Amino acid sequence: MPEARLAPTMPFVVEVQGETVAIPSRMYNEEPSADSERPPLVGTRQAILHCLYSRHSDGRVRQRHLEQIVTSGEPWVVPFVVQLAGEYVLEIIEAIGRSLPGLAVPGSAQRRLYGEFIARNPAFVARTERRVVSYWSCYHRWKYGAFGTYPGCVLLEAFRAAVVEQVGAQWPRHTPHPAGGAAQRNGTQWFTGCGICLTPWLL
């Protein structure tokens, strides 16, 4: 990897199959040129490189590298994908949804893979859910007037189905209900912010 122009930002920590993994929130290294890989990276080493560059400061770089790993069955790839589901680039969220059709299939390998990770990392996933709501409200509400129609919400519901199947019980919700009406059942107002706006929604 070329030298970074800036140090990577504070990592976030997740648990993967009983091991603690620290992942940079953002990194600023330029992408390596094809002729700089001698010999070319393959297999696990190449997947690790793609995972790291999925944390790049440039959204187009993140998307390019995500598309190389999102279908992976490696448990350590999952947190990189879930983190991107909670970010603001719509094209990345759509790419994740297209690439994980197994999340909609009961008993599939993808469902088990994501369900296990989510069950082990409830605080991380709750924070991701809140970010999805915030970025929808800040950047995408003009196009998706109802949260339930937003691709990020659709993806979260697929994650929810995976963890419910994994644990065999209901899972806490940190977003408005996609059906709308149920979200207003008790009239409690919550606030969530993406750093640019502070948006109230009813839970």
Tens-place pLDDT, residues 105-164: 999 999 999 999 999 999 999 999 999 999 999 999 999 999 999 999 999 999 999 999
What global pTM score does this model have? 0.84
**Nearest residue to 102 (alpha-carbon basis) of 91, 112, 92, 117:** 112
Cβ contacts of 92 within 8 Å, gap of 6 or more: 59, 62, 63, 66, 84
Percent of the chain with pLDDT over 90: 70
**Nearest residue to 179 (alpha-carbon basis) of 146, 202, 155:** 146
**Nearest residue to 80 (alpha-carbon basis) of 102, 47, 119:** 47
The H-or-E segment that residue 129 falls in is: helix 122-135
Give the residue, 37 or 7, on which the prediction is more confident.
7
H helices then E strands: how many in the chain? Answer: 7, 4
Q: What rounded mean pLDDT belongs to the chain?
A: 85
Cβ contacts of 14 within 8 Å, gap of 6 or more: 20, 21, 23, 79, 117, 120, 121, 124
Two structure tokens written together for 99: 């690439």
Two structure tokens written together for 68: 């190389």
Please tell me the predicted confidence (pLDDT) of residue 34.
63
Q: How confident is residue 199, by pLDDT bands cut at 50, 70 and 90?
A: very low
Q: Side chain identity at 198, as an amino acid letter?
A: L
The mean pLDDT of 56-72, rounded to a whole number, is 94
